[in-house]
């Protein structure tokens, strides 16, 4: 024979024992001695029994074991046409109060169902969802709350021992998810929670949802939409420090210094430097030319009308914007940014037409003509 428990009241009793506990549900055996009730492993002496309700005398706290979770599911209780000023104190509402409904849920989400139709249509109500949370592993967690009507979420070591200050509060907008601060839990830790909410005279339903964010789960977005895959950005900041070197020529004849070439990693500077008369700018130019990319061209007659060394564009011979710093040149020192439609062969008045999709050609290099 199966049975179902829908409500237990009150949620806490005195530690001395003897308080009357009422258990509502279905499938109870009314025969004397056929049904047993325990609280924390200690017998709660059955006083009355029907198929839908039991009453028993609570044992003293000293006889009970540590509080643990019960069976699967969370108990949601709803009081229609009810109102409280403090969501942290629902002691005035009991299963015997008018408009009481209850349901055992397998998840932590309450949706509008048959007994809540009146709430969905705008009736005043007070709701409470309670149960146990077991931490799957040690770490930091965040509790979330969404609710129709103002809501609060409290936690504690056991029923009746909830913290006075809620860990999460909502203003009543179900589409807005409110989050708690980080909560440290040990592996397998049991935490009791109660989420309460209420609605005034305006319509809006009585939905309520409690969530848990686990930042250490191995589950990814590809496995479930409830997971969020981490997205991380690495920022690297570097400091550019220009190196200064001093070239000293000692004991070298002046004739030998009239033609000096620099070399780096097998690459020589393009033009020899006369070290006898060279200025700082001369050496700078030699170094820059040595490190500049050098391009080889198979058809030199296709060179543009002016070489890349010319800083001033030829009159009437090119369109676009010359770039020397904003755009990295491919070859030489200058590039032409977004040319239009008139470029010319070197030494001729023959126009070089750009490809049909000319806007795809965003940069044109200059090189020396022969």
Pair 4, 61 in one domain:
yes
Whole-angstrom distance, CA of residue 163 vs CA of residue 160: 9
32, 59, 61: which is closest to 47 by C-alpha?
32
What pLDDT, on a 0 to 100 scale, did the predictor assign at position 16?
87
Whole-angstrom distance, CA of residue 4 vs CA of residue 167: 31
Could you tell me how far CA 21 lies from the centroid of its own chain? 45
pTM exceeds 0.75: no
Is 299 or 161 the better-scoring residue by pLDDT?
161
Domain end position, chosen among 31, 65, 99: 65
Whole-angstrom distance, CA of residue 185 vs CA of residue 137: 8
Strand, helix or coil for residue 169: strand
The per-residue DSSP string of 208-234 comes to: EEEEEEETT----TTT-TT--------
Asked whether the predicted pLDDT for residue 336 surpasses 70, the reply is: no
What pLDDT, on a 0 to 100 scale, did the predictor assign at position 300?
44
Pair 80, 224 in one domain:
yes
Q: How confident is the model at residue 23 (pLDDT cuts 50, 70, 90)?
A: very high
Count of domains in the chain?
A: 4
What pLDDT, on a 0 to 100 scale, did the predictor assign at position 265?
80
pLDDT tens digit string along 64-120?
865 555 566 888 898 888 889 999 999 899 988 988 888 888 788 887 654 555 555
Pair 250, 103 in one domain:
no
Residue 275: which domain range?
A: 233-289
Pair 58, 36 in one domain:
yes
Least confident of 58-62, 154-158, 346-350: 346-350
pLDDT tens digit string along 39-53?
877 889 999 999 889
What pLDDT, on a 0 to 100 scale, did the predictor assign at position 32?
85
Pair 176, 306 in one domain:
no
Whole-angstrom distance, CA of residue 298 vs CA of residue 276: 37
Domain end position, chosen among 65, 86, 109: 65
Pair 257, 321 in one domain:
no
Are the C-beta atoms of residues 326 and 360 closer than 8 Å to each other?
Answer: no
Asked whether the predicted pLDDT for residue 345 surpasses 60, the reply is: no
Whole-angstrom distance, CA of residue 10 vs CA of residue 39: 13
Q: How confident is the model at residue 152 (pLDDT cuts 50, 70, 90)?
A: very high
Pair 140, 209 in one domain:
yes
Query: Could you tell me the CATH number of the domain that includes residue 184?
Result: 2.60.120.260
Alpha helices in the chain (DSSP H): 117-120, 280-291
What pLDDT, on a 0 to 100 scale, did the predictor assign at position 340?
55
Residue 281 corresponds to which tokens in the numbers above? 């700018």
Domain end position, chosen among 249, 274, 289: 289
CA 336, 341, 344, 345 torsion-angle sign: positive
Pair 341, 271 in one domain:
no
Pair 224, 258 in one domain:
no
72, 225, 227, 207: which is closest to 151 by C-alpha?
207
**Can you tell me the mean pLDDT for 55-68?**
80
Pair 198, 80 in one domain:
yes
Q: How far is CA 142 from CA 74, 162, 177, in A?
A: 19, 17, 12
What pLDDT, on a 0 to 100 scale, did the predictor assign at position 309?
38
Largest CA distance in the chain: 125
Q: Mean pLDDT for the chain? A: 77
Pair 324, 335 in one domain:
yes
What pLDDT, on a 0 to 100 scale, did the predictor assign at position 143?
95
Query: Could you tell me the CATH number of the domain that includes residue 13?
Result: 2.60.40.10
Are the C-beta atoms of residues 152 and 169 closer than 8 Å to each other?
Answer: yes
**Can you tell me the mean pLDDT for 247-251?**
83
Pair 29, 51 in one domain:
yes
């Amino acid at each position: 024979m199966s049975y179902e428990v829908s409500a237990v009241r009150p949620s806490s009793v005195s530690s001395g024992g003897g308080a009357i506990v009422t258990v509502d549900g279905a499938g109870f055996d009314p025969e004397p001695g056929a049904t047993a009730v325990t609280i924390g492993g200690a017998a709660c002496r059955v006083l009355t029994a029907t198929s839908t309700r039991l009453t028993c005398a609570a044992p003293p706290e000293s006889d009970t074991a540590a509080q643990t979770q019960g069976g699967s599911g969370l108990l949601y209780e709803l009081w229609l046409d009810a109102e409280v000023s403090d969501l942290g104190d629902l002691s005035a509402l009991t299963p015997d109060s008018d408009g009481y409904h209850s349901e055992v849920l397998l998840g932590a989400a309450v949706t509008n169902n048959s007994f809540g139709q009146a709430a969905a249509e705008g009736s005043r109500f007070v709701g409470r969802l309670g149960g146990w949370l077991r931490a799957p592993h040690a770490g930091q967690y965040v509790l979330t709350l969404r609710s129709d009507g103002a809501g609060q979420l409290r936690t504690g070591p056991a029923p009746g021992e909830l913290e006075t200050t809620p860990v999460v509060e909502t203003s009543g907008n179900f589409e807005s998810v409110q989050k708690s601060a980080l909560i440290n839990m040990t592996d397998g830790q049991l935490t009791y929670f109660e989420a309460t909410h209420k609605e005034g005279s305006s319509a809006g339903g009585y939905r309520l949802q409690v969530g848990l964010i686990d930042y250490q789960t191995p589950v990814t977005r590809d496995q479930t939409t409830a997971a969020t895959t981490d997205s991380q950005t690495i920022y690297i900041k570097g400091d550019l420090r220009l190196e200064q070197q001093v070239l000293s020529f000692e004991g070298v004849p002046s004739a030998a210094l009239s033609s000096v070439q620099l070399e780096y990693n097998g690459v020589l500077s393009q033009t020899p430097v006369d070290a006898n008369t060279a200025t700082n700018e001369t050496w700078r130019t030699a170094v820059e030319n040595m490190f500049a990319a050098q391009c080889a061209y198979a058809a030199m007659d296709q060179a543009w009308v002016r070489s890349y060394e010319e800083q001033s564009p030829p009159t009437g011979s090119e369109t676009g914007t010359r770039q020397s710093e904003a755009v990295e040149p491919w070859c030489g020192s200058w590039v032409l940014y977004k040319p239009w439609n008139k470029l010319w062969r070197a030494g001729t008045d023959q126009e070089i037409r750009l490809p049909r999709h000319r806007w795809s050609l965003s940069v044109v290099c200059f090189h020396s003509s022969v």
